[in-house]
Structure 1
Amino acid sequence: MAVAGDLIDRFLGLPRTAPVDYGVARDLRVPMPDGVALVADLHRPREAGPLPVVLMRTPYGKHRADARLFAGVLARRGFQVVVQNTRGVFGSGGEFRPFHDEKDDGLATLAWLRAQPWCDGRVAAAGGSYPGFAVWAMAPYADPPLAAIGLGATASEFAGSFYPGGALALHNTLVWSAKLGTRDPARTGRRAPGPLHDRRVRRAMRHLPVGEADTAAIGRPEPFLREVTAHAEDPGFWAATDHSAAVAATTAPATMATGWWDPFLRRQLRDFAALHEAGRQARITIGPWGHDAKAMFAILADQVEWLEGHLMGDRAALRRAPVRLHLQESGRWLDFERWPPPGTRTTPLYLTGGLSWEPPAGTADEPVAFTYDPLDPTPSVGGPLLLPGRGGQRDNTATERRPDVAVLTGAPLDRDLDLIGPVSATVHVRAGTGHGDLFVRLCDVDGRGVSRNVTDGVLRISAPGTVRAEVEMHPTGYRFRRGHRLRVMLAGGAFPRFARNLGRGEPAGRAVASRRVRFEILRDAAHPSALHLPVWHG
């Protein structure tokens, strides 16, 4: 075990340390105010007195490899770790209602921990993805504050990720719903997912109505998908699960780690900015990762370093810039004092006959048009996805050849162009039926003509006539190399990443009938459509 632990530490890039002998007390019952008990495992150095506690709360099961890895790495380094199954999963009582109960259950667990004789009163909390959200659901309200928090590939508000730009994020929502529906065979009566599971889920993405795609995917209703699709036109339903307004009041020192291709990056950067602007102790690392195993290992290493600094007194590793990021295609890691970095200037790139840094003059450029057919939807390629192996940067060439997209390309660059920061687009558009989704993607075209996605965004349009569409796109840190060209692709969707807009304005979860939608993109002097790019002058 000592040899295995040493290999894991070396793999994670952690400094070597003498391993601590620890034991595990399993299935401790933690009482909630409503009488429900949640189960947890306590990983604790043997024959130790009261110690601080690191808490992780997970709906995926404390038995899973990632939870055991998290607890084992910390326990070998002398930490006391509690991994708890959230309400309604793997032996914990009650019903699992994603995102709804984490505040009350987290605070009740925190009070219970502080009352235990083996806890010295100091509690930190850490986790990635949903366990990271569970940290945010508790941290702003903890009194006294948590000793430190670690937040990996997560955010204080998740509902915006269900409906980016008002469109339903079908791929990520159905993938996660199917995972929930098959996670706990003891409760669902279903066997764990087999090798055909992913294929069945992919096929189910075409099911109409979308609100019943769960039965096509896993053979039974899944409450989370039903909630998300039922409230696609009412995101206010999730208000009680939104902790973003409390972020700035969070005084616990916070470390964050994520990747450029993580679906929660946009909101995680907002959380970081809120902490930084409030003068809190916070840092963030953004690497060339997605929502995947590489990110998980980086998150764990980041959190171990942070927790050692704040609970064990090893402050040396904490002396770094608040922002550390990988500039893609440059091979460089960069440190900055804030986000967006100093030296970044938002610069418009105009949609003209091609792409231009100069605004259009007169009316020479006619609207560019394309027609979107929900029965033959424009496919999505890559991007920030939850399912490993399908997201990230991909070759877009085949999609760009389709007749249902518009493609505008700039001239070859005479020098490297670095983008670091938030990206957006202003597009003057007409959707023929008054109902449609505008998908905007920025790509990097290399010297061989291969076009790869860099960032994108979507906006649901529900208005007749010409609309000034303000599209929030995914943040990026990316180098376009000299000789490469920038390309913008516009489409009426990106399926199955986003649910098809059926063009009739009917509720997304129940709609089945469809209409083709003709889009016109205006790009003259009176309608200067453009991307707003964060050009970094380093």
Structure 2
Amino acid sequence: MRNLSCEARSLINVRVKTRDKIELACDVYLPPDESRAYPVIVSFSPYNATGGRNEGGLVWVRRGFAYLSADCRGRFKSGGVFTPWVNEIADAYDLLDWIAAQKWCNGNIGMVGGSYVGFTQLAAAAGGHPALKAVAPSAIQSELYSTYYSGGAQALAFMAGWHIGMTQRRAATDPSPNWEEILKKSPPSKFDEYAGIPCPSWKDIVAHDHHDAYWRKNTFEGRLRGSKVGFFLQNSWYDHIGAKVFSMFNEIVNSPGFSKSALKKYTCLRVGPWGHGVNMKEGELDYGPEAMVTEDPEVDFLSSILQGKKPRTAQNPSRLQIFVMGENKWRFEDEWPLARTEWTPFYLGSGGHANTSNGDGWLGRDKVETKKCATDSFVSDPENPVPTCGGRGVGNAGQRNQSEIEKRNDVLVYSLPPLTEDMEVTGPVTMKLFASSSSPDADFAVKLVDVFPDGRPFNVCDGILRARFRGGLDKKPELMRPGTVYELDIDVDVTSYLFKRGHRVRIEIAGSNFPHYSLNPHTGQKPGSDTGMQKATQTIYHSSEYSSCIILPVIPAARSCRNPKKNEEGTK
């Protein structure tokens, strides 16, 4: 045991055995008084959690808590082999079981951290250890399929390099793979080979491109329903793994006995205008001083619950807090989606040439009445894909100027006239698209855009659908018949955004969004393993028979602000 200048006692590289005899490496920081037992804060991480002075842990010690940081199995000083998502439920339970048995633990444990360190908290909550009382995960969701796939298209820009790289034990002097170049190669199933890092679990992920038994085995969907802990959840509008956080939140708060539970009833969710992490700035727009938050509510939540007190968040008007971009204000809401939502369709129309922002595409509030089938077409070339520009991601994410994207002839653009009054869009955005392709498979990428009065277009949210999954992501894929018109329902993500008066609402439709999503080779073969590629002509239909439209969750202006009271806890 070391004494850190009397501010804490430390136990370094403590070995905790799991049920299968793997040793997890832990560092423990304890308050100086050895006569007491303490509530414990835990960080269970794959990101080198042990071996150095942990300033964050010492902060918790000064607050009167014990603190333990542990390396996940197969990472840094821990034994075993690291396979993302697979062992954490059992390992977290065994780790908590060991902590609870220590004389310096008073039987009350909380956990903290974001990204994968948030995932390990969900694993611990799903495991159900009775000593775990509260967790504060951020930048995470419980549904793993949506971490790697969206609309059946594989997320590549960050996830490929992260997943493959995390499974390798390499020295600091080893050269890092050039992921920018690797992502340009095909097929994705061989990315680990191109990187020189054999990774069987990556090949499994590529092979399972729809929501089948593989994903149901390794997901937390449904497993948090029975948890008894309090959750302080945080996520972001532009976090690459944030789209399903509302589903996780709803699962927790709608679980049986929620309102009568001792701790779980304190569960709350805060969603801000950030990237992958709380206060992580992304994009080109400034959301004002209120966008940045303090950790005070999170610290109070954990501290209070572990000490048998009611957290201050229980005094908030409701348990859901969202940041409305454009208005740049925080607001409390009672549910998601909002009960007062007006689901409003805006219909596509054109003179047949909606290509580029200089085309003749438009959006209208009324259906196109003519039975004559108006169409717009573009050629999608996987050798020259539409590049990713903003959106959900890690780096180069957020809201970004789409002007260069809209110059491309393979991007269709449809715009409303300038708004005569503000319009708030808060909730899930969906697209009903009638389309055909010259190929047996195609991707349709949709982007909701805010066009400023000076003409600059900024993305708000986006989504994609690989047409072979039009029957459902949990169904086996079905190829298209070239030239046949299909009705496609596309998830265009969730948002909370105020389109201001004088701005224009715009939709972009393209055949790719790369490298955010994997390329569709248009051959009809499995995209993850096919090395061939060919061009395809994609056609969008808009008529009285084929009413292609974007459906926006419009919040009535008179009641848009449920609670105008400023939230002093959630903002600086």
Q: TM-score, normalised by structure 1?
A: 0.89
The alpha-carbon distance between structure 1 residues 342 and 232, as it changes in their structure 2 partners (threshold 3 A), is closer
Q: Which runs of 5+ in 2 are unaligned?
A: 1-5, 259-264, 282-291, 351-361, 469-479, 561-572
Note the 1:303-382 alignment, pairs <5 A: 303-312=298-307, 313=309, 315-320=311-316, 321-353=318-350, 354-364=362-372, 366-382=374-390
1:508 maps to 527
SS at 2:60's partner residue? Answer: helix
2:173 maps to 191
2:253 maps to 276
Residue type at the aligned position of 1:315: P
CA shift at 1:406, angstroms? Answer: 0.8
In 1, the alpha carbon distance for the partners of 2:179 and 2:398 equals: 20
Structure 1 window deviating more from structure 2 (345-354 vs 510-519): it is 345-354
SS at 2:442's partner residue? Answer: strand
Note the 1:409-420 alignment, pairs <5 A: 409-420=415-426
CA shift at 1:81, angstroms? Answer: 1.6
The alpha-carbon distance between structure 1 residues 535 and 64, as it changes in their structure 2 partners (threshold 3 A), is farther
In 2, the alpha carbon distance for the partners of 1:314 and 1:246 equals: 25
Residue type at the aligned position of 1:112: W
The alpha-carbon distance between structure 1 residues 43 and 300, as it changes in their structure 2 partners (threshold 3 A), is farther
In 1, the alpha carbon distance for the partners of 2:499 and 2:310 equals: 39
In 2, the alpha carbon distance for the partners of 1:357 and 1:68 equals: 56
1:444 maps to 450
In 2, the alpha carbon distance for the partners of 1:189 and 1:106 equals: 27
Note the 1:128-527 alignment, pairs <5 A: 128-144=114-130, 146-177=132-163, 179-180=165-166, 187-189=169-171, 191=173, 200-216=178-194, 218-232=195-209, 235-278=212-255, 279=258, 280-292=265-277, 294-295=279-280, 300-312=295-307, 313=309, 315-320=311-316, 321-353=318-350, 354-364=362-372, 366-386=374-394, 388=395, 390-462=396-468, 463-464=480-481, 465-527=484-546
2:358 maps to none
Residue type at the aligned position of 1:339: W
1:103 maps to 89
In the alignment of these two chains, the number of paired residues is 508
In 2, the alpha carbon distance for the partners of 1:302 and 1:375 equals: 48
In the alignment, is residue 86 of structure 1 matched against residue 72 of structure 2? yes
Structure 1 window deviating more from structure 2 (225-234 vs 101-110): it is 225-234
Structure 1 window deviating more from structure 2 (201-210 vs 31-40): it is 201-210
In the alignment, is residue 51 of structure 1 matched against residue 38 of structure 2? yes
Task: Determine if contact 1:61/1:90 at 8 Å carries over to the other structure.
Answer: yes
SS at 2:243's partner residue? Answer: helix
SS at 1:367's partner residue? Answer: strand
Task: Determine if contact 2:433/2:488 at 8 Å carries over to the other structure.
Answer: yes
Residue type at the aligned position of 2:62: R
In 1, the alpha carbon distance for the partners of 2:152 and 2:22 equals: 36
CA shift at 1:61, angstroms? Answer: 1.2
The alpha-carbon distance between structure 1 residues 63 and 41, as it changes in their structure 2 partners (threshold 3 A), is closer
Give the aligned CA root-mean-square deviation in angstroms.
2.3
Task: Determine if contact 2:399/2:458 at 8 Å carries over to the other structure.
Answer: yes
Match of 2:101 among 115, 130, 133: 115
Residue type at the aligned position of 1:191: T
CA shift at 1:394, angstroms? Answer: 0.6
In 1, the alpha carbon distance for the partners of 2:378 and 2:247 equals: 34
Task: Determine if contact 1:439/1:459 at 8 Å carries over to the other structure.
Answer: yes
SS at 1:397's partner residue? Answer: coil
In the alignment, is residue 27 of structure 1 matched against residue 35 of structure 2? no
Residue type at the aligned position of 2:8: Y
The alpha-carbon distance between structure 1 residues 170 and 344, as it changes in their structure 2 partners (threshold 3 A), is same
In 1, the alpha carbon distance for the partners of 2:423 and 2:211 equals: 40
Q: Deviations over 1:155-207 (max 9, x none)?
A: 1222222111100111122231354256xxxx32462667xx6xx21121101
SS at 2:516's partner residue? Answer: coil
Q: TM-score, normalised by structure 2?
A: 0.84
Task: Determine if contact 1:284/1:322 at 8 Å carries over to the other structure.
Answer: yes
In 1, the alpha carbon distance for the partners of 2:382 and 2:454 equals: 32
The alpha-carbon distance between structure 1 residues 131 and 499, as it changes in their structure 2 partners (threshold 3 A), is same
The alpha-carbon distance between structure 1 residues 293 and 72, as it changes in their structure 2 partners (threshold 3 A), is farther
Q: Which runs of 5+ in 1 are unaligned?
A: 1-19
SS at 1:381's partner residue? Answer: coil
